[in-house]
Amino acid sequence: MRAADGVKDLMAAADPAAGVTGDPDRWRADLERILAGPGPGPRRPRRGRAPRLWVPLGAVAAACAAALALTLLPSGGGHAYAATPPPLDYRPPATAVPAAQELAEIARRTAARSEPDGGPDSVLEWRDWNLSTRVDGNTVTSRVLTEQHRALLHPDGTGTQSSRFDGRPERTEPYAAGLYRQPVPADPDALRALLRASTPAVDTPSGLAQALRGLLRTQVLDPGQRAAVLRLVAALPGLSYDGSVTDRAGRPGEAFSAESDGSGLPTRYTFVVDPDSGRILGDEATLTTRAGALNVPVPSVISYTAYLSARRQ
The 10s digit of each residue's pLDDT in 11-65 is 344 344 444 445 545 545 554 554 444 444 444 444 444 443 333 333 333 333 3
Confidence class for position 134, pLDDT limits 50, 70, 90: confident
Confidence class for position 68, pLDDT limits 50, 70, 90: very low
**Mean pLDDT across 283-311:** 91
Confidence class for position 291, pLDDT limits 50, 70, 90: confident
> ∠ CA 99-200-109 to the nearest 5 degrees?
30
**Mean pLDDT across 233-248:** 97
Backbone angles phi and psi of 14, in degrees to 5: -95, 5
**Predicted pLDDT of residue 51:** 40
Which positions ≥6 away from 272 have C-beta within 8 Å? 88, 245, 247, 253, 254, 255, 280, 281, 282, 283, 284
Residue 238 CB-half CA count within 13 A: 13
Q: Coil, helix or strand for 273?
A: strand
Average pLDDT value for the chain:
80
**Mean pLDDT across 138-161:** 87
Dihedral angle over CA of 235, 236, 239, 245, nearest 10: -90
> ∠ CA 281-254-65 to the nearest 5 degrees?
50
In angstroms, the Cα distances linking 213 to 2, 7, 44, 244, 281 are 49, 46, 49, 22, 11
**Predicted pLDDT of residue 61:** 34
**Predicted pLDDT of residue 144:** 72
Question: Does residue 253 surpass a pLDDT of 90?
Answer: yes
Confidence class for position 264, pLDDT limits 50, 70, 90: confident
Question: Does residue 142 surpass a pLDDT of 90?
Answer: no
55 C-beta neighbours (distance < 10 Å), count: 12
Which positions ≥6 away from 148 have C-beta within 8 Å? 62, 127, 163, 164
Confidence class for position 263, pLDDT limits 50, 70, 90: confident
Q: Which runs of E-coded beta strand occur in 1-66?
A: none
Residue 41 CB-half CA count within 13 A: 2
CB burial class (10 A; 0-12, 13-18, 19+) of residue 164?
middle
Confidence class for position 209, pLDDT limits 50, 70, 90: very high
**Mean pLDDT across 284-292:** 91
